A and B are shown apart, each in its own frame.
Chain A
Amino acid sequence: MNAPTLFGLCAAVLVGFGLYGLIVHPQPLRKVLSFNLMGSGVFLVCAVIARRGAAAGMGGDPVPQALLITAIVVAFAASALAVALMLRQFDETGSSSLSNDPGPAPAKPAAKGEA
């Protein structure tokens, strides 16, 4: 049971937490949070694979580690877009919920946008 395998199991549990959070939490912000959690779990799996590919004098296989850097940046861009969408939906409707039966839209926030 060496360290990478331990981290691999930890990654699997993280993905489980992320999935649970994504399903259960109604607020989209908590969903993005859980999505990032799951993302870090998936990236940890990849890091374990990289660590197991250590050879030719390198601590880990550089190709999956390069993929990881790309994936982390892409995940950040996705979170930024999701948060921007949430905030715009909040500005327009005063509520941020994903349920498709639109409840009674509460009163619009007083001053829209202008600080």
Chain B
Amino acid sequence: MNLDQTLLAAAMGLPLLLLLACASARLRRRMPALFVLAPLPALAAALWAGHDSMLVLGNTRFALRFALDLPGAMLLGCAAVLWALAGMFAWRYLRERADSDGLVVCWLMTLTGCVGVFLAADMIGFYFLLAVLSVGASGLVLQGEGPQAVRASAIYLGLALLAEAFLLAGLILLAQATPDGSLLIRDAAAALPGSPWRDLTLILLLVGLGMKAGLVPLHFWMPLAYGEAPIPAAAVMSGAVVKASILALIRFLPWSTALPDAGHALALIGLFGAIYGVLIGITQSQPKLILAYSSVSQMGFLVAVIGMGLAAGDTGTALAAAFYAAHHLLVKGALFLAVGVVMLTGRRHRWPMLVPAAVIALGLGGLPLTGGALTKYAAKDLLGEGLAGSVAVVSSIATTLLMIHFLRRLSAMTAVEADARAPAAMVTAWLAMALASLLIPWALYLAIPIDTLPKAVAPAALWAALWPVLVGALLALGLDRLGTRIPQVPAGDVGEVLYPLEDASMAAGGWCERVDAFTRRWAVSCIALLLVSLLFGWTLMVG
């Protein structure tokens, strides 16, 4: 067990240990204080663990294997920072809450799942830890208390398990295709282009992971879940949990061989999602919902970047996508914490909270000298000049518009009495997160040679980043005048289709119950037995 393996083991082991310790009520009460410490080994692993060593649990045939590659390390590091600071926020948040057991257990479970998924190197481990992540996250949504929260959590879990079903089918197809039956994700990704069911596997994987990443037709769980979950939970889920599927996409897709048709289709869906997210976002009034729709939009954009990379077969995409995801992780987490803090501060003290929030929010839109500009710059050459490139510019304009709308709604949501001040721990957590979301992208950009610094800071690049932000700001002013005439879209937009679906399923249930009651009558059952024996006799004769 060299240093790297011990780091990996600690990163995975500490949260698991804390989760198991929750069994005793006494330990559970003192657990929130440890929330900050739990992700630190993961941060250490991200920073110092080597990228070639592998931690193996179990014997030759079925074993859990953990390893770390560069994109994984980048995302794990940022996620660990977000988990730690959100943990501090949650610790202070839990002090007022009476019944904190549920949140503590689900928090640690989600943390274990999240770290596990980032580290997982084999398919079975990945599938299991993704399941743990989904269950934990749906538990976090449940902590929102209220019938809406229960419904949101049920939808979240339902879709997560549906995604896992697609994923399982895809993984099995991959396992069938890998020559020597090894279950490593690396080997599976390598074997994917050559597998006899390549297209089917790709479709299953993309649908499964797309659903977890909130691609448009199946994104409605995201606004419902983030709207209902408590602030720290929403921060962590929108930040780290969603990135699990992005990292899976990065790891499972074969970057070496170009898959133009799949890549273009993915890019199309992604870009449509980017635009759609913003369109719905501007109609929302709740800051948390606006952020959720901004996540839908950003995820759409990120998937578009991956799609284009897949179409071009450019191995650099993995790093660019990971860099973009890392930045989004930090910014989204910070913004959610901002919402939490601003809601508790009075009108008179809101400005010191709103200014950093504004800077980060605009950064998401691509404000120069912020992380956002860097990520857009890194992703630019991938998207190329054609249709995708122009749509990328439109999306950054739209994001700026959405962010300004968010800031306006956020400033209106301050606490009732003017001079209320948010608790110190929350403010420090929020400010630290804001600082991190500004500095870390630069640190990452310098450490990982995506492009040389001077080119990024060159005036041409700066201007190319600035004018979409200005256009966005102008549009925001226009939006102000439209004001009331914007249609009010309910939180889950597409989710509304669920209600008639639920009635239809109740009807189907009723029909099934009548069928069951009919077949369980005595005469019917006996005749059924005779018919079954005759049927078997006949099929055997014919077959």
**Chain A residues at the B interface, C-beta cutoff of 8 Å:** 19, 22-24, 26, 98-100
Distance in angstroms between the alpha carbons of A26 and B523 in the assembled complex: 9
In the A-B complex, list the 7 residue pairs whose CB atoms are closest, starting with the nearest.
A23-B526, A98-B522, A23-B523, A100-B520, A22-B526, A23-B527, A99-B522
Contact A19 B530 (CB under 8 A): yes
Chain B: minimal CB distance from A83 (Å):
18
Q: Which residue of B lies closest to A19 (CB)?
A: B530
Label chain B's interface by main secondary structure. Answer: helix
Q: Which residue of B lies closest to A98 (CB)?
A: B522
> Would you mind naming 16 contact pairs between A and B with Cβ atoms under 8 Å apart?
A19-B526, A19-B530, A22-B526, A23-B522, A23-B523, A23-B526, A23-B527, A24-B523, A26-B522, A98-B522, A99-B521, A99-B522, A100-B517, A100-B520, A100-B521, A100-B522
Chain A: minimal CB distance from B520 (Å):
6
Q: Which residue of B lies closest to A99 (CB)?
A: B522
Residues of chain B contacted by A26 (CB below 8 angstroms):
522
Known: A19-B526, A23-B526. 12 other contacts (CB 8 A): A19-B530, A22-B526, A23-B523, A23-B527, A26-B522, A98-B522, A99-B521, A99-B522, A100-B517, A100-B520, A100-B521, A100-B522
Chain B: minimal CB distance from A78 (Å):
17
Residues of chain B contacted by A24 (CB below 8 angstroms):
523
Distance in angstroms between the alpha carbons of A52 and B276 in the assembled complex: 81
Distance in angstroms between the alpha carbons of A26 and B520 in the assembled complex: 15
Number of A-B contacts (CB under 8 A): 16
Residues of chain A contacted by B517 (CB below 8 angstroms):
100
Q: Which residue of A lies closest to B523 (CB)?
A: A23
Distance in angstroms between the alpha carbons of A23 and B525 in the assembled complex: 9
Residues of chain B contacted by A98 (CB below 8 angstroms):
522
Residues of chain B contacted by A99 (CB below 8 angstroms):
521-522
Distance in angstroms between the alpha carbons of A100 and B519 in the assembled complex: 11
Distance in angstroms between the alpha carbons of A98 and B520 in the assembled complex: 11
Chain A: minimal CB distance from B515 (Å):
14
Distance in angstroms between the alpha carbons of A24 and B530 in the assembled complex: 14
Residues of chain B contacted by A22 (CB below 8 angstroms):
526
Residues of chain A contacted by B523 (CB below 8 angstroms):
23-24
**Chain B residues at the A interface, C-beta cutoff of 8 Å:** 517, 520-523, 526-527, 530
Chain B: minimal CB distance from A97 (Å):
9
Name the residue among B523, B527, B530 with the largest chain A CB count within 10 angstroms: B523
Chain B: minimal CB distance from A3 (Å):
27
Chain A: minimal CB distance from B488 (Å):
50
Distance in angstroms between the alpha carbons of A23 and B523 in the assembled complex: 5
Chain A: minimal CB distance from B516 (Å):
11
Residues of chain A contacted by B530 (CB below 8 angstroms):
19
Chain A: minimal CB distance from B240 (Å):
53
Q: Which residue of A lies closest to B525 (CB)?
A: A23
Chain A: minimal CB distance from B202 (Å):
50
Residues of chain A contacted by B526 (CB below 8 angstroms):
19, 22-23
Distance in angstroms between the alpha carbons of A22 and B523 in the assembled complex: 8
Residues of chain B contacted by A100 (CB below 8 angstroms):
517, 520-522
Residues of chain B contacted by A19 (CB below 8 angstroms):
526, 530
Chain B: minimal CB distance from A52 (Å):
22
Chain B: minimal CB distance from A19 (Å):
7
Residues of chain B contacted by A23 (CB below 8 angstroms):
522-523, 526-527
Q: Which residue of A lies closest to B526 (CB)?
A: A23
Distance in angstroms between the alpha carbons of A18 and B522 in the assembled complex: 15
Chain B: minimal CB distance from A77 (Å):
22
Chain B: minimal CB distance from A42 (Å):
14
Distance in angstroms between the alpha carbons of A22 and B525 in the assembled complex: 11
Residues of chain A contacted by B521 (CB below 8 angstroms):
99-100
Chain A: minimal CB distance from B218 (Å):
42
Chain A: minimal CB distance from B528 (Å):
10
Chain B: minimal CB distance from A16 (Å):
10
Distance in angstroms between the alpha carbons of A23 and B522 in the assembled complex: 7
Chain A: minimal CB distance from B261 (Å):
56
Name the residue among A19, A22, A23, A100 with the largest chain B CB count within 10 angstroms: A23
Residues of chain A contacted by B527 (CB below 8 angstroms):
23
Distance in angstroms between the alpha carbons of A24 and B520 in the assembled complex: 15
Distance in angstroms between the alpha carbons of A80 and B517 in the assembled complex: 29
Distance in angstroms between the alpha carbons of A26 and B527 in the assembled complex: 14
Distance in angstroms between the alpha carbons of A98 and B522 in the assembled complex: 7
Distance in angstroms between the alpha carbons of A22 and B526 in the assembled complex: 8
Distance in angstroms between the alpha carbons of A100 and B522 in the assembled complex: 8
Chain A: minimal CB distance from B521 (Å):
7
Distance in angstroms between the alpha carbons of A62 and B66 in the assembled complex: 67
Chain B: minimal CB distance from A96 (Å):
13
Residues of chain A contacted by B520 (CB below 8 angstroms):
100
Chain A: minimal CB distance from B510 (Å):
17
Distance in angstroms between the alpha carbons of A19 and B526 in the assembled complex: 9
Chain B: minimal CB distance from A29 (Å):
14
Chain B: minimal CB distance from A31 (Å):
8
